[in-house]
């Protein structure tokens, strides 16, 4: 039971990464967290075997992205996934004079800090009524995406030379970078599309912990206690653990945090998720 942090390459889906790892690890039981689009690269966290049961216990915490946007055209997917329709040379000349580094920075400061309302892109894996939005696009279905609140903890302009700008953003879960880009170029009164998108950090898991599919090393798994450093890890006596494994409640005066998910650890793996309510210890999930 392990976790791996993979540097997803360009043009592979998140599930393509799963397919490759299933062959390398000779197991079919694995899944990823927080999908990356085919044209996005960077950190993809993979849970293997029984640790897939721990995925719901991850905090919906922050992620960092670096991305580039060009302001000389537009596409239906807001990126290079679909054909780009370029603006005229006259419009480019006008935009090159009106769009400045200072103007972009001002718009970021005024419109993209903290909690904002965002409409997710239709070309996405977001599910609507049990079906991915992208699948509905392919089926020629008519539908609207509802706006929702997301949090941008930090966004900065790294570089700009018309028609391209590069950015770094730290955002909460469920934030779409392509939607941030769309909102920005609308405020600039021009067209735009994302040319590069890379997830550079998941919580405190930075690029130093990642590995590529080509150089994948099974021994380089992540420390489960580091992944869940905000959780409490406990050990239980065999007699107590036996009862927990049989879904029996254990009455005892334990020195444990109450009403929290407690990770039972046997010095090698997480075996159970339990909860304590002052009087009884009860099982929540067997791993």
User: How many angstroms separate the CA atoms of 41 and 7, rounded?
Assistant: 7
Contacts 24+ apart (CB under 8 A), 28-34: 31/55, 33/58, 34/63, 34/173, 34/202
CB of 3 closer than 8 Å to CB of 48: yes
User: How many angstroms separate the CA atoms of 284 and 240, rounded?
Assistant: 15
Per the residue annotation, which of 7, 11, 16, 37 is the catalytic one? 37
User: How many angstroms separate the CA atoms of 3 and 18, rounded?
Assistant: 12
Q: Which residues contact 43 (CB under 8 A, 6 or more apart)?
A: 5, 6, 7, 8, 63, 199, 200, 201, 202, 205, 207, 210
Question: Which phi and psi angles does 155 have, rounded to 5°?
Answer: -145, 135
Q: Strands 205-206, 193-202: parallel, antiparallel or unpaired by DSSP? A: antiparallel
| Cα–Cα nearest to 104, from 165, 163, 151, 153 | 165
Is 266 catalytic? The answer is no
| Cα–Cα nearest to 153, from 118, 187, 115 | 115
> What is the DSSP secondary-structure string of 197-228?
EEEEEETTEEGGG-B-STT--TT-PPPHHHHT
Q: Any idea which residues carry the catalytic annotation?
A: 37
């Amino acid at each position: 039971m392990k976790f791996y942090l993979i540097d997803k390459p360009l043009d592979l889906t998140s599930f393509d990464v799963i397919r490759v790892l299933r062959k390398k690890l000779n197991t079919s039981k694995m899944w990823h967290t927080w999908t990356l689009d085919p044209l996005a690269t960077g950190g993809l966290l993979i849970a293997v075997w029984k640790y897939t049961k721990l995925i719901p216990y991850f905090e919906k915490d922050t992620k960092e992205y670096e991305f580039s946007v060009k302001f000389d055209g537009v596409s239906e997917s807001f990126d290079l996934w679909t054909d780009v329709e370029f603006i005229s040379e006259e419009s480019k000349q006008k935009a090159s004079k009106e769009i400045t580094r200072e103007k972009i920075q001002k718009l970021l400061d005024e419109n993209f800090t903290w909690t904002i309302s965002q409409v997710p892109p239709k070309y996405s894996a977001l599910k609507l009524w049990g079906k991915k939005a992208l699948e509905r696009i392919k089926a020629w279905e008519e539908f609207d995406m509802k706006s929702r609140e997301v949090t941008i903890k930090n966004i900065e302009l790294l570089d700009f030379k018309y028609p391209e700008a590069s950015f770094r953003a730290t955002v909460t879960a469920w934030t779409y970078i392509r939607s941030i880009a769309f909102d920005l170029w609308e405020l600039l009164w021009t067209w735009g599309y994302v040319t590069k998108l890379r997830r550079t950090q998941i919580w405190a898991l930075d690029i130093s912990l990642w590995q590529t599919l080509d150089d994948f090393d099974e021994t380089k798994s992540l420390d489960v206690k580091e992944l869940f450093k905000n959780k409490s890890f406990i050990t239980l006596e065999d007699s107590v653990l036996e009862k927990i494994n049989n879904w029996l409640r254990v009455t005892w005066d334990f020195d444990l945090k109450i009403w929290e998910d407690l990770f039972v650890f046997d010095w090698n793996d997480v075996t159970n998720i339990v909860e304590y309510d002052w009087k009884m210890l009860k099982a929540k999930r067997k791993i």
